[in-house]
Amino acid sequence: MITRLTHMLLRRTVRRWFEQEPSLVTMRQKLDGFVGSIDKMPGSYRATPAGAALVDETCAFLSSLAQQAESTNAILTEIMMAQDFHDLTGQVIRKVVSLATVLEEQLVKLLIDTTPGEQRKKVEVSALEGPVVNPESRTDVVSDQAGVDDLLASLGF
Beta strands in 50-152 (DSSP E): none
Half-sphere exposure of 143 (CA within 13 A, CB side): 13
Average pLDDT, integer, range 29-35: 80
Q: If we measure between CA atoms, which residue out of 67, 62, 79 comes closest to residue 10?
A: 79
pTM, two decimals, is 0.43
The answer to whether residue 4 scores a pLDDT higher than 80 is no
The answer to whether residue 101 scores a pLDDT higher than 80 is yes
Highest-scoring range by mean pLDDT, 70-74, 84-88, 134-138: 70-74
Per-residue pLDDT at 128: 54
Per-residue pLDDT at 2: 65
35 contact partners, CB below 8 Å, separation of at least 6? 59, 62, 63, 66
Percent of the chain residues past pLDDT 70, beyond the cut: 83
Highest-scoring range by mean pLDDT, 9-23, 59-73, 92-106, 135-149: 92-106
**DSSP letters of 2-49?**
HHHHHHHHHHHHHHHHHHHHHHHHHHHHHHHHHHHHHHTS-GGGGSSH
CA distance 63 to 34: 10
The answer to whether residue 111 scores a pLDDT higher than 80 is yes
CA distance 84 to 10: 8
Q: Which of 19-28, 91-100, 115-124, 125-134 is predicted least confidently?
A: 125-134
Average pLDDT, the chain: 77
